[in-house]
Amino acid sequence: MKKWILIFCFLSNLAIGQSYFAGASYKMSIPLLSFKEHISPISFVGAEVDFRYFKTDWFSFGLNLGWSSFYEHIPMDTYYWDNNAITAEQWNYLYQSDFHFQLHFYIPTQILIKPYFGIKFGASFVQDYKKVGDLTFNKHGWGFGYTPEIGFLFHLPKPDGLAFFLSGGFNQAFYKNNHYNSLTNVNIKFGIAYSGQYRKATKERLEKAKSESK
């Protein structure tokens, strides 16, 4: 956790410039397809750190770091491996860390809410643990992952540069083992960001409103 806090503080300092965005968000994930057969409960433990550079008012690119934790307890089941079998209480754990590049496009509006859509893609590191009775099986590795998403930015009038954002995305990591063909889930995240881009936009809106009132 300390590492994530340091990364966010570093990116926040960069966001002081008018073209930078640094944000942190809480994330929940809903397993789908073959991954849901391995772990079906919704994950309420997840977070992301966002860093974006605005090339123009309607386009940004940057980096995204994400982490999710999935867990399921199975009271009793039979597990088969290497011509062996055991019937016992089971626990499935999976941790997914994403290291992605991201591209976003923003729809211009005259209000404080700005819709956007984009895609994130890059490497996903997976740690998969299965405990069956007193036995523990684990596997970890890397795979390619991507996440198309849509969302909304909510600019706050004050303090300058502060914004909330809400988004939903479809995440898939191409990593497979005996339990699933890929890690597939839908995620929803809510976060807070600081951006010089919004500080500039808020200032321009206030100046325009002031001039129109004269």
Q: What is the pLDDT of residues 65-111, one digit of tens each?
A: 999 999 999 887 777 667 777 788 888 999 999 999 999 999 988 78
pLDDT < 50 regions, the chain? 8, 12, 14-16
Going by CATH, does the domain composed of 2-213 fall within 3.40.50.720?
A: no
How far CA 127 is from CA of 91, 130, 139, 176, in Å, comes to: 14, 10, 6, 12
Tell if the pTM clears 0.75, that is, is over it. Answer: yes
Omega within 30 of 0 (cis) for the link into 159: yes
How many Å apart are CA 75 and CA 132, to the nearest integer? 10
Cβ atoms 107, 114 nearer than 8 A: yes
